[in-house]
Amino acid sequence: MRKFKNDCSMKHVFYHNICLAVDYDTVKTLEALKNSGVLNLFLGDLLNVFKRSVSYRTRKAILLGILSFYTLDDSQLQTLG
């Protein structure tokens, strides 16, 4: 994830795929990102990628990923930190 900081197209592809995974299985994907140590980086940059994306597909995937956060219970959010 840190490798794609300067390459916008790869960054958008990465966020597209991760957000689709978040939409598919929110808890498991967020736990995998947390275990990799990139959860805060991912969440911190999510809205910036959404604003800068020119691709409808990337924006749609990010929106689906963000909306899936609302399906989490408080206990699941506490577990993820």
What pLDDT, on the 0 to 100 scale, is given for residue 17? 93
User: How large is the C-alpha radius of gyration of the chain?
Assistant: 12
Instruction: Report pLDDT digits (tens) over 11-26.
Output: 888 899 999 999 999 9
Instruction: Report pLDDT digits (tens) over 49-75.
Output: 899 888 899 999 999 999 998 988 888
Q: What span, in angstroms and rounded, lies between the C-alpha atoms of 36 and 17?
A: 16
What pLDDT, on the 0 to 100 scale, is given for residue 13? 86
For 35, counting Cβ atoms within 10 Å of its Cβ (0-12 exposed, 13-18 middle, 19+ buried), the class is exposed
The count of structural domains within the chain is 1
Per the CB < 8 A criterion, the answer to whether 11 and 24 are in contact is no
Identify the domain containing residue 23 by its residue range.
2-80
